[in-house]
Structure 1
Amino acid sequence: MDRARISDYVKQVSLGTRWSDNDVYGHVNNVVYYAFFDTAVNGCLVESGVLDIARSPVIGLVVETGCRYFAPVAFPDRLTAGLRVARLGRSSVRYEIALFREDEDAAAAQGHFVHVYVDRETRRPVPLPADLRNVLAGWVMPG
């Protein structure tokens, strides 16, 4: 996997690090990167009007995730999360996310996660609702 550039992503989201994100080694702990990924994706879904965290009848559950680290990030760094959809299935989506420090063009970390969309009550997979599919189709990189 080559180190991503900000131009490789359809959407960009500003994120801030917090004092509590740093670990004893003086950089953001690896598990926090996954929280950044979740925050970027779900924030964009809420902002797009296709996710109401408390009421949406269809919700995404993470079934797979991964991350590669290239450069350290530490509080008080400001980050930009780059986001794109790599695969849009019947009931699942593979999101690819990269984190960029301040105004840097090369990713400090990049990874992915897969949401399987399920009925909120039964937790059984369901097809992506049309409005969600339309929003996510706009997050697929052209070309």
Structure 2
Amino acid sequence: MPLPEGFRHETPISVRFADIDIMGHVNHAKYLTYMEQARIHYVQQVCSWQGNWDTLGLILAHVEVDYMLPVIFGDAVTVYTRCVRLGTKSFDLEYVMFRQHMSAAPEAVARAKTVMVAYDYQKRVSAPVPDSWRHAILEYEPELAQE
């Protein structure tokens, strides 16, 4: 599948049987889990973050989701992620999640935005986004660098 316009980062997701609710589709809360997986994958790949929670981590400060279509067991799911704002101590990520059911064309199933805050777990306070992350994100997101 070609990348959605403006997105360069993709994370394939395996839909687990445990993700399915009594209605036979993926529970709405699992969409947030899929986006969390994509977010961690993004900071690992783009920012070279190694999961050092004892020093610097990320706090989810805000999330908004538009649910458009259900996902069922057996669908192939991909979450696309991009950074759309880079502040001093926080940044915004946008997501678009697609499903592909059997041989049908991929369809967007959800769109979301999160505000992420850099957090110093030793001091228990928000922290500036590290310069190394800032440079890596600006290099990876050419549209962001133009703003």
TM-score normalised by the shorter chain: which range applies?
0.7 to 0.9
Task: Report how far residue 84 of structure 1 moved.
Answer: 0.8
For residues 110 and 141 of structure 1, do their structure 2 counterparts lie closer, same or farther at Cα, with a shift above 3 Å needed?
farther
- In 1, Cα distance between equivalents of 2:35 and 2:135: 21
Q: Which residue of 11, 14, 26 corresponds with 2:12?
A: 14
1:115 is matched with: 116
1:64 is matched with: 62
Cα displacement string for residues 85-136 of structure 1 (whole angstroms, at most 9, x for unaligned residues): 1111001011001110127454110101111001121221111111111222
Size of the alignment, in residue pairs? 139
Matches within 5 A, 1:39-58: 39-48=37-46, 50-55=48-53, 57-58=55-56
1:31 is matched with: 29
- Do 2:46 and 2:140's aligned partners in 1 also have CA atoms closer than 8 Å? no
Task: Report how far residue 49 of structure 1 moved.
Answer: 5.4
* SS of alignment partner, residue 85 of structure 1: strand
Residue 82 in structure 1 maps to residue 106 in structure 2: no
Q: What is the root-mean-square deviation in Å for CA atoms of aligned residues?
A: 2.1
* SS of alignment partner, residue 53 of structure 1: coil
Bigger mean CA deviation after superposition, 123-132 or 49-58:
49-58
Cα displacement string for residues 42-73 of structure 1 (whole angstroms, at most 9, x for unaligned residues): 01222345322245621110010111111110
For residues 104 and 137 of structure 1, do their structure 2 counterparts lie closer, same or farther at Cα, with a shift above 3 Å needed?
farther
- Do 1:93 and 1:114's aligned partners in 2 also have CA atoms closer than 8 Å? yes
Bigger mean CA deviation after superposition, 89-98 or 47-56:
47-56
- In 1, Cα distance between equivalents of 2:24 and 2:84: 33
Runs of 4+ aligned structure 1 residues displaced above 3 Å come to: 103-106, 138-141
Greater relative contact order (Cα < 8 A, sep 6+): 1
